[in-house]
Amino acid sequence: MTQQSELIIEPLSGRPANACVFILHGLGADGYDFEPLVPQLDLPAGAEVRFIMPHAPRLAVSVNNGMTMPAWYDILSVDLGRELDTGQLASSAERIQRLMRDQIEAGIDSRRIVVAGFSQGGAVAYQAALTFDQPLAGLLAMSTYLADPDVPGPGDGAALPIEAHHGTADPVVPESLGRQGVEALRALGYAVEYRTYDMAHALCPEQIGDISRFLGARLG
């Protein structure tokens, strides 16, 4: 059975969606990885949110001995520079942007779209949201890094609301790497809220509360 390209969860109320949240999974996972998060979120009344969780393609990943697995892009080195296939990163970001435009064409205001991502998916979320040509409700980057620092500044319009989360004991994506990306964005003029948690490469209950707060503030 062929897997669909994304998991879509419609508003639990049964009413039509008036907002959309994209959540991009990490390396080796798939869109179903974040399905259990949705019922744990405390969203405000009136926010009828459609969650879209795309599945990454299967690629050979160099740092995993060339093993084929779900991946948004190939990782060539896991040092602090995180050498990667920038063409695949851009291609994945463009795919997410096409899905965002599909939602806009279906009637969702771009200012009611949030892009979120975890780990490798967070790097794609950064790229997709920061290079999108329409205003968005927000960007949530979890346990991730800014893979391409050559992104545009916020410009003359309203800055994109960005929140970044990271575990202080993360052995996969060091917290220093996540902080480095946040500082680079702040230098460009973005106001980034940065939160850390006593955890490894994962989510924790305190963070889920902060995710609910962030989405509520952006989509309430």
Catalytic residues, by residue number, are 119, 170, 201
Residue with tokens 């949110």: 49
Residue type, 16: P
The span from the CA of 61 to the CA of 140, in Å, is: 25
Selection from 175, 5, 148, 129 nearest residue 85 by Cα: 148
Q: How many helices (H) and strands (E) does the chain have?
A: 4, 9
The span from the CA of 101 to the CA of 90, in Å, is: 16
Token pair recorded at residue 127? 């790229």
User: Count of residues for the chain?
Assistant: 220
